[in-house]
A and B are shown apart, each in its own frame.
Chain A
Amino acid sequence: MRTKILWQTVAVLLIATMVLSACGPEKVGNFEIPAVVKGKFNVAMVLIGPHDDGGWSQAHYEGLEYVAQNVEETHVAYIENVPEGADSEQIFRALSRKGFDLILGTSYGYMDPMETVANEFPDIMYIHLTGIKSNGKNFGNLMGAMENMKYLAGMIAGARAKLDGNPKLGYMATFPIPEEIRLGNAIALGMRKTCPECTMDVRWINTWHDPIIEKDAAASLFDAGAQVVFTGADTPAVADVAQEKGKWGVTYDWYGSCRVERCLTAPYWNWGPVYAKIAEAVKAGTYTPGWDYFDADTGALGLYGFMEGQELTTGMKDLPPEVIQEVRDLMAKTLKGEWTRFDVFSGPINDNQGNVVVPEGEKLAQVDLDAFPEFGLGCTYCMKWWAEGITAELPE
């Protein structure tokens, strides 16, 4: 009898643990909620992964450190490995009760929990990253025009694949949401600019970070014939696999992720300046939350190999000089704010079904970049199409 009960307990506990680990990182219920420092401006950050994941979360964490160093009288704290959905709601509520002044949530799936909690605590400012909602009062949305950097990386990758005589790219995408499709399309548009005959394969991995799946997905794309593989997920696995296979990988998120020879480049985030600006504004009571979508002129976006103090990577050195020059010119324009996300997505753009998505002379609007038609946000062109050259489909 005892053994039976024991085994049932094992089964229940294991199931619970597995269900939780299947949705996100393990652990629940033993998060330590950090305390505030009285008299200071308190900023809390909730991270989907570990603060030193070598990718997305690390880039945000370093942004938070920047805030601590550059905004006066500020105390910062973070909680890592918080699963998306209902669990995160408790975390946001607990942080709010502690009395933080500004709470940053850095993953798409925190959106609805943050909105709920924001309505309960009207005096606290909640900034959500990469989502599509805002209440206009104390819950706002923040994202940046990574598409410009992905476009430029796509130009580099297209030129690389063409030079290597294998005009095929790969894109390891996380979830079928507008952000991932937008960034994939930006890559494809850039790729077609330098290599009109290039095509791009897609693999969905249904996770933001799983080093082992990411490695498998990269290998899957290379084995299917890709010459350069991009990742939309967090770890630099693409570059490691590229190194192994003698191909090229394009990492993402964090400037430190591009470190092996076969890493072609890395579009990356530099959140510090943006976070500091928001923190200053919230502290002064002048911040209006909404859809805060910044461009590269904020200094918050980068492309490894092209920013100040960086050298061209091994894979860029033998590319046609005119391609490098063109990328440099566009980079200069985008850093000045003269070439923005709307210029990346300006017509004519064709989808991979042979339809014209954006006619000549038209540009996508912000809502088009962010939404599927079924979101009910009133987008005209929306982001539910794959650009010409992408060999993949989207669900109905």
Chain B
Amino acid sequence: MDFIIILQAGVATGTILLFATIGELFAERSGVLNLGVEGMMLIGAMFAFKIAIATGNPWLGVLVAILAAGLISQIHAFITITLQADQVVSGLSLTFLGAGISVVLGEGLSKAGTVSLLPQFSIPLLTKIPLIGPVFFTEQSIMVYIGYLFIPLAWFYINRTRPGMHLRAVGEFPAAADALGINVYRLRYFYVFVGGALAGLAGATISLAISPGWFSELTTAGMGWIAVGLVIFAQWNPIRAAFGAYAFGALRRLILDIQGPTVFIGAIGNFTFLEMRNPFYYNPYWGFFLQMLPYAFTIIVLVIGSREAMRKRLGAPAALGNPYIRGERGL
């Protein structure tokens, strides 16, 4: 069991969660909760794979995935922003719609054969840094590297730029933003699109890089739901989101690698302070417990997140979940 390998794999798998989480974070920051992440990811994964097979160009697949998932998110935008319907119901329906469309259009793709994947490489020099080099810069997919660039950019955009300020205003106090001449509706449409596009990118990352192929609805394996939970855990902050995404990714790999060694030995130099039978080696049922953790964690986060007082302390956008109706009292 090598922790560097676990972290390296965690960063790769975590990149899927990273894109989806940051996308959802943008949408929620503008005040729109979109529970359709899983469905949009499926749309992205399917289109990316389908187009890559049809054209032989994975980048074209990524592009179409982004656009397709972005477009389908606009259904949610229309229903919740223009028609001012319930965001939860609409988001859940979007999950089913996305899954349905991707399954129908993805028919036969499982037999389609192999496709050229997105490139995977090491970054010269950086790969030599101890610990950080092997974990972050060695033999990762290009999507992983794009993910690194994304984290500070998203943070900077939200917290330090003018459009980012508008985004926050729309999510915190849309009436005030409106009074300042910001077009609340248009911005919300835009950020729901951004959320969808990034979910599509996350889907493409699965099917063309991290876990190649199309396996119908199983392709995303519940990743979209974990992303929704991660947004709350991250307190709507992209840097925390990245941390959570990579940690969840690493946990998924740890569950497997921990089954390998027969004993756990903790030692500093010649001094052994721990030596115990590895329960994960001797009893496969222990693995169930670890596998449960990401989901249990998400449940706990959501329960905490559902308490008004806690939510304020966590820093949820104040207008999250509320349609903006012009002329009504704010919030």
Contact: B111 with A52, CB < 8 Å? yes
**Knowing A9-B88, A81-B217, A213-B221 touch, does A52 contact B110 (C-beta < 8 A)?**
yes
A17 within 8 A of B: yes
CA distance A214 to B210 in the complex (A): 11
How far in angstroms is the closest Cβ of chain A from B300? 10
Q: Is A37 an interface residue, CB under 8 A from the partner?
A: no
Contact of A176 with B284 in the complex, beta carbons under 8 Å: yes
Which residues from B are CB-within-8-Å of A206?
284, 287-288, 291
CB of B217 within 8 A of CB of A50, answer yes
With known contacts A18-B299, A49-B218, A212-B13, A11–B259 Cβ distance under 8 A: no
A211 CB within 8 Å of chain B? yes
Answer whether residue A277 sits at the interface, using C-beta atoms and an 8 A cutoff: no
Tell me the count of chain A residues lying within 8 A, CB to CB, of chain B. 62
Closest A residue to B253 using CB positions: A216
Q: Which residues B105-119 have CB closer than 8 A to chain A?
A: 106-111, 113-114
When the two chains form their complex, are residues A4 and B111 in contact, meaning their CB atoms are under 8 A apart? Answer: no
Main secondary structure of the interface of B (DSSP, over half): helix
Within 8 Å of chain A (Cβ to Cβ): is B142? no
Is A205 engaged at the interface, CB distance under 8 Å to the other chain? yes
What is the distance, in angstroms, from A169's C-beta to the closest C-beta of chain B?
A: 14
In the assembled complex, the Cα of A214 lies from the Cα of B206 at a distance in Å of 13
Residue of A30, A209, A259 touching B218 (CB-CB under 8 A): A209
Say yes or no: A7-B305 contact (C-beta < 8 A), given A204-B287, A392-B281, A395-B283. Answer: yes
- Taking a contact as CB atoms under 8 Å apart, the answer to whether A260 and B114 are in contact is yes
Using known A-B contacts A50-B215, A53-B215, determine if residue A15 contacts B299 with beta carbons closer than 8 Å.
yes
> Across the interface, do A30 and B217 meet the contact criterion of CB distance under 8 Å?
no
A53, B110: Cβ atoms closer than 8 Å? yes
**Cβ of B226 to closest chain A Cβ, rounded Å:** 8
Q: Does A284 contact B (CB under 8 A)?
A: no
Known contacts A6-B88, A259-B113; can you find 13 more A-B pairs with CB under 8 A? A4-B308, A26-B38, A26-B99, A27-B96, A53-B110, A58-B110, A204-B284, A205-B256, A209-B215, A212-B16, A212-B221, A212-B223, A212-B252
| Interface CB pairs A-B, < 8 A, 26 | A3-B321, A7-B307, A14-B229, A18-B295, A21-B225, A26-B217, A26-B222, A27-B99, A27-B217, A49-B216, A52-B216, A176-B284, A206-B284, A213-B256, A214-B211, A216-B13, A216-B253, A219-B9, A220-B256, A220-B257, A223-B5, A235-B215, A237-B211, A237-B213, A260-B114, A395-B282
Q: Which 3 A-B pairs have the closest CB atoms?
A: A50-B216, A54-B110, A7-B306
